[in-house]
Structure 1
Amino acid sequence: MPRNKVKFALIENENDRKLSYKKREKGFLTKAEELRTLCDVEMAAILYSPFNNEPKVFPNHGAAITTFEKLVELPTLKKSKNMVTSDEFTKKRIEKLNDKLLKVRKKNKVKEVTNEMYEMLKCKEISIDMHPYDLNDLSYVIKQKLIQCLQQQRILPFL
């Protein structure tokens, strides 16, 4: 049975909020234990909440202090090696999405020109106001299709 989608907002009812916190805290600590065991990583977590008098420390107080001391003693270069600010992350994400967009636009342009080529083969006339770049793209697609066709018929095996 699928779970309902959770709307991320403050739970107004104090008892519901506490119940939700306890469930999620238990799930978080379970996942942390699994990650530590399965991947053999050293990790520590400190959970502060208004529902407990003392903070919860994972896996235990001594191990958490040792882990945090090791983190503090790391050279700055190693500490910041995999850290990314939100601005850097956003810029990288925008670059990736722009690259994806460019590839999709290129694919669409090729499909568009290919359709135009097939329309021409059905004796449709070329529009008079066609841009020279579009004509150039059309000639490229026609050339590629001819090469592909000739290679399939083994007339031009080395192209």
Structure 2
Amino acid sequence: MARKKVRMSYITNNSARKTTFKKRKKGMMKKLSELSTLCGVDACVVIYSPFDSQPEVWPSPSRVKNVLEKFKNMPMIEKSQKMLNQESFLRGMISKTNEQLKKVRKQNHEKELRHTMFQSLTTGIPQFQNLNLMDMGDLEQLINQKLDEINSIIENLSEEVIENETKMSKLNNNACEGIHGM
């Protein structure tokens, strides 16, 4: 059975929020333990919560200190390469989303042109009224690309036909020689 989608917003009910916190914290600790064990990485967690007076640390206070010391002793260049603040993370996400948007717009444009081309071919009526000069150029490229593909297919089929005719001719010659040799 599939889980229902969780709405990401602050849980106003205190007991539900506390229960969710405990469950999610337990799950996060388990995942971190698995990550640390399976991949052999040093990891730690420090959780401050309104439900506990003392912060919770994993795996132990001494191991947390070791991991933090290891991080503090890293050269600044190496530290800054691996660190990501909220602003740079959001800038990266916006950039990635913009690239995806460009790609989808390009795909939609190509589909619209392909639709216009096929609609013109099937109805016999040119459907170019709504196209600007740039779209007409793109349509020309698409038509030329399709013509090249068709010519390539025709060329391949012609080669296959010639090849098959040559084979049939050889078979006929061999059959005739077999009949005359009897």
Task: Please state how far the C-alpha of 1:56 moved relative to its aligned partner.
Answer: 1.9
Are 2:14 and 1:24 equivalent residues in the alignment?
A: no
Q: TM-score, normalised by structure 2?
A: 0.71
Q: TM-score, normalised by structure 1?
A: 0.80
Distance 1:99 1:2 in 2: 32
Within 5 Å, which residues of 2 pair with 1:51-90?
A: 51-90=51-90
Gapped regions of structure 1 (runs ≥ 5):
none
Task: Please state how far the C-alpha of 1:59 moved relative to its aligned partner.
Answer: 0.8
Higher mean C-alpha displacement, 20-29 vs 146-155: 20-29
Match of 1:138 in 2: 139
Task: Please state how far the C-alpha of 1:128 moved relative to its aligned partner.
Answer: 5.4
Q: Using a 3 Å threshold, how does the CA distance of structure 1 residues 154 and 18 change in structure 2: closer, same or farther? A: same
**Could you say what secondary structure the match of 1:46 adopts?**
strand
Match of 1:147 in 2: 148
Please tell me whether Structure 1 or Structure 2 has the larger radius of gyration of its CA atoms. 2
Higher mean C-alpha displacement, 29-38 vs 89-98: 89-98
- Specify the code of the residue in structure 2 equivalent to 1:117: M
Match of 2:98 in 1: 98
- Greater length-normalized contact order (CA 8 Å, ≥ 6 residues apart): 1
- Specify the code of the residue in structure 1 equivalent to 2:26: K
Task: Please state how far the C-alpha of 1:68 moved relative to its aligned partner.
Answer: 0.9
**Which protein has the bigger helix share?**
2
Task: Please state how far the C-alpha of 1:62 moved relative to its aligned partner.
Answer: 1.1
Gapped regions of structure 2 (runs ≥ 5):
157-182
Are 2:116 and 1:116 equivalent residues in the alignment?
A: yes
Q: Using a 3 Å threshold, how does the CA distance of structure 1 residues 23 and 85 change in structure 2: closer, same or farther? A: closer
- Specify the code of the residue in structure 2 equivalent to 1:113: L
**Could you say what secondary structure the match of 1:52 adopts?**
coil
Give the total of aligned pairs.
155
Distance 1:3 1:129 in 2: 47
- Specify the code of the residue in structure 2 equivalent to 1:144: Q
- Specify the code of the residue in structure 2 equivalent to 1:145: K
Q: RMSD in angstroms over aligned alpha carbons?
A: 2.5
Distance 1:105 1:72 in 2: 45
**Could you say what secondary structure the match of 1:81 adopts?**
helix
Task: Please state how far the C-alpha of 1:23 moved relative to its aligned partner.
Answer: 2.6
- Specify the code of the residue in structure 1 equivalent to 2:35: L
Match of 1:43 in 2: 43
Q: Using a 3 Å threshold, how does the CA distance of structure 1 residues 50 and 86 change in structure 2: closer, same or farther? A: closer
**Could you say what secondary structure the match of 2:105 adopts?**
helix
Task: Please state how far the C-alpha of 1:21 moved relative to its aligned partner.
Answer: 2.9
